[in-house]
Amino acid sequence: MKTMVVRNWGQFIRSIAKCMQAQNNVGLWWRGHSNSEWPLVPAVYRESYQNSEQTTCNNFINRGKSRHSPTPASNDFVAWLFLMQHYGLHTRLLDWTRSPLIALYFAVAEVGLDIRSVALWGLHPGKLNHHQKGCEGESVILARAEVVKPIIKEAFEYWKSSEPQKTLAIKTEEFDIRHMVQMSAFTIHGISTPLDCLEGSDQFIVKIEIPVENIGTFKQGLSMFGIDEAMLFPDLEHLANELNRSTFTK
C-alpha cells in the first residue's frame, strides 16, 4: 500500500482528490489516527484489551438500563452495540466519517510525545464489502442485514459461527445528533486482522501521513474552517469547554 506524505493544505487537497480519483470518484470514508503506526483494528482486538468482550457488553446492558432512558430491548444487539460505541465502550466497531476534514481533526487534535507523524486513512466501503463477499456488487450493508447478524451476535454471546467471519462496512443507525454532525460511518470486525492487513487491502484502503512538525499548519486551518470540539460534540459540556478556553488565558 502506497503512503502519501503531505505537509501543507495544497498537498492535502490534491492528495484527497487523488485518492478519490483512484477509487472512481466514489465518496470515501475517512479515519484519523494521532499515530501513523496504529493499525486499523477495533479496541477489543488490541493486545491491551484484557477482559472478555461478551462479559463487558452484557455488563453494560445490565447496568446501563438504570443510567439511560429509554434503552433498547435486551436482545436488540444492534442498537446496544451502537449505544456502547457512542458512549465510549470498547467494541468491535471502528469509527469512520464521510468528511476528510473531520477525520483530520481527530488525527491532529491531540498528538502524544515521540510521535513522528499522524495518519488519515481512506476507505472505499463498497469495495471492502465486495472483497469480503458480504454483499452483491459494491454497496454499504444495513447493520441489521443477515450477513452482519452473526458478527454482532458473537459480541454478546459465547457462541461461534460455523462460517468464517468478515469485516464489513455498515450503515449507521443515527440516534444522536453527534452521528449527524460527525457524518459517522462504521466498520464492524468479526476478525482480529487489522483492516489494512487484509489480503488485497490496497484495493480499498489509502493512507495519508502528516509529519508532526507540520501539524500546527493543519490545526490552524481547521480552526479557521470552524472544525473544532464544540462543533463536533454539540453538547453543553463541550460548549462550556470552548468558552472557557476563549475566556481564560494561560
Range of the domain at 205: 3-247
Mean pLDDT over each residue of the chain, to the nearest integer: 89
The one-letter code for the residue type at 76 is D
Q: Residue 144 — very low, low, confident or very high, per pLDDT cuts 50/70/90?
A: very high
d(CA 228, CA 242): 9
pLDDT of residue 105: 96
Count of structural domains within the chain? 1
Question: Is the separation of the CB atoms in 34 and 109 below 8 Å?
Answer: yes
Could you give the C-alpha distances from 237 to 87, 231, 233, 243, 244, in angstroms and in order?
A: 14, 12, 9, 10, 11
d(CA 65, CA 120): 36
Q: What is the pLDDT of residues 156-176, one digit of tens each?
A: 988 777 677 889 999 988 777
Q: What is the pLDDT of residues 188-216, one digit of tens each?
A: 999 999 999 998 999 999 999 999 999 99
Q: What is the pLDDT of residues 86-131, one digit of tens each?
A: 888 999 999 999 999 999 999 999 887 788 999 999 999 999 998 8
> How much of the chain, in percent, has pLDDT values that exceed 90?
56
